[in-house]
Amino acid sequence: MLGGIEAGGTKMVCVVGCDPDHLLSQTSIPTTTPSETLSSIIAFFRDSQQHFEPLQAIGIAAFGPIDVNPLSADYGKIGLTPKRAWQGFNWVQALQEAFGLPVYVDTDVNGAALGEWKWGAAQNLDTFLYLTVGTGIGGGGMTHGNLLHGRFHPEMGHIRIPHDWQRDPFPGCCPYHGNCLEGLASGEALYQRWGQKAQFLPADHPAWELEAEYLALSLTNFIFTLSPQRILLGGGVMKHPGLLENIRQKTLHYCAGYLPYLADEIETLITIPQLGDLAGSCGALALAASGCGR
Ligand code: ZN
């Protein structure tokens, strides 16, 4: 039996089980201070162990920036997040102290990618991306069967894309870069630019044409850079009807016929995750199952 935590900025989704079809218990805990949130998480797993059987490992798919290198002394430690109370909090240390078990951590998007690879829309692939477009934008994935790490971890939401200031005078909302991808196309950017949350913007609002363009520009960069076999687009903003198809068509347009296979494969190349709202927490289970996922 394994434990999984999807550690998000507003809530922590905790699950116990071995895969998405066999979850024994789950709960959602508000993200407040580390000490308060952690004691609720520990209570949930202790209670689950009493009702079922002992946990063998715990995986965490966490908001970042976070140290995800198992060889680092700071493995599991959160960096300079805007959620200041969580700066310096170390997931691995805290949960190992509480349970004396192996604890594995990766980014929320790498966790979700691993879950989709094990049980969802990326099965049998070895090079793919998972991009979430929600309040922020984050990307993770695999190359050659290994989760993308590198010197730190990918921060695909912060790439630069062309920005036509005349058409879109909004300066962007990223506190670091202004008009990076996240600054222009995240749910927060939609809210700040248009004054309404994404779910309340009507289908014919010009917001959606611009949104599809920005996301298609970013996917074009990712396709040319990493040559993924699939790109999974998750997150709340992607729930808007028609957005996915618009992104596909615009990505084809920006790739401009350069990749001969693209037109025939666009629907399978750019698609949605299968695990839905369970992607993060089951991704955390997948991390627990496969060690650190490397
Ligand atoms: Zn940025």
How is 78-123 classified by DSSP, letter by letter? B-S-SSGGGTT-BHHHHHHHHH-S-EEEEEHHHHHHHHHHHHSTTT
70 and 51, same structural domain?
yes
13 neighbors 26 (Cβ within 8 angstroms): yes
Same domain, 240 and 283: no
Query: Is residue 283 assigned to a domain?
Result: yes
CA of 174 to the centre of ligand 1 (A): 5
**Residue 147 and residue 99 in one domain:** no
Residue-wise over 62-85: b if at least 16 C-beta within 10 A, else e? Answer: bbbbbbbbbeeeebbbbeebeeee
Interhelix angle 108-119/279-289, nearest 10 degrees: 80
Domain membership of residue 168 (yes or no) is yes
Considering the domain architecture, whether residues 128 and 238 belong to the same structural domain is answered as yes
Q: Report the separation in Å between the CA atom of 169 and the middle of ligand 1, taken as the mean of its atom positions.
A: 17
Residue 15 CA to ligand 1 centre (angstroms): 31
94 and 129 part of one domain: no
Q: Is residue 147 part of a domain?
A: yes
163 within some domain: yes
**What does each C-alpha distance from 121 to 104, 118, 279 come to in angstroms?**
23, 9, 11
Q: Is residue 185 part of a domain?
A: yes
How far, in Å, is the centroid of ligand 1 from the Cα of 175? 7
How many independent structural domains does the chain possess?
Answer: 2
**pTM: predicted TM-score of the whole model, two decimal places:** 0.93
CA of 248 to the centre of ligand 1 (A): 24
| Distance from the alpha carbon of residue 172 to the mean position of ligand 1, in angstroms | 9
For ligand 1, the distance from its centroid to the CA atom of residue 181, given in whole angstroms, is: 7
- Check whether residue 35 and residue 166 sit in a common domain: no
Cα of 2 to ligand 1 centre, how many Å?
Answer: 35
Two structure tokens written together for 198: 């994404």
Same domain, 268 and 158: yes
CATH number for 37: 3.30.420.40
Residue 113 inside a domain? The answer is: no
**Cα atoms found within 13 Å of the Cα of residue 60, Cβ hemisphere only:** 27
Distance from Cα 133 to the centre of ligand 1, integer Å: 14
Same domain, 230 and 247: yes
Q: Maximum CA pair distance of the chain?
A: 61
> Are residues 40 and 173 located together in one domain of the fold?
no
**Residues spanned by the domain of 87:** 2-108+277-291
How far, rounded to the nearest angstrom, does the alpha carbon of residue 254 sit from its chain's CA centroid? 25
**Which ranges constitute the DSSP H helices of the chain?**
34-51, 91-99, 108-119, 181-185, 187-194, 206-226, 243-255, 262-269, 279-289
**Same domain flag for 74 and 179:** no
Let me know if residue 115 belongs to a domain.
no
Q: Are 272 and 232 in contact (CB under 8 A)?
A: yes
Per-residue model confidence (pLDDT) at position 292: 47
Residue at 114 is within a domain: no
Q: How far apart are CA 248 and CA 191, in angstroms?
A: 23
Residues 95 and 210 in one domain: no
- Tens-binned pLDDT, residue by residue, of the chain (294 aa): 999 999 998 899 999 999 999 999 999 999 999 999 999 999 999 999 999 999 999 999 999 889 999 999 999 999 988 788 999 999 999 999 999 999 999 999 999 999 999 999 999 999 999 999 999 999 999 999 999 998 888 999 999 999 999 999 999 999 999 999 999 999 999 999 999 999 999 999 999 999 999 999 999 999 999 999 999 999 999 999 999 999 999 999 999 999 999 999 999 999 999 998 788 899 999 999 987 443
Going from the Cα of 43 to the center of ligand 1, the distance in angstroms, rounded, reads 36
In this structure, how many other beta carbons lie within 10 angstroms of the beta carbon of residue 45? Answer: 21
Q: Do 126 and 21 sit in the same domain of this protein?
A: no
* pLDDT for the residue numbered 83: 83
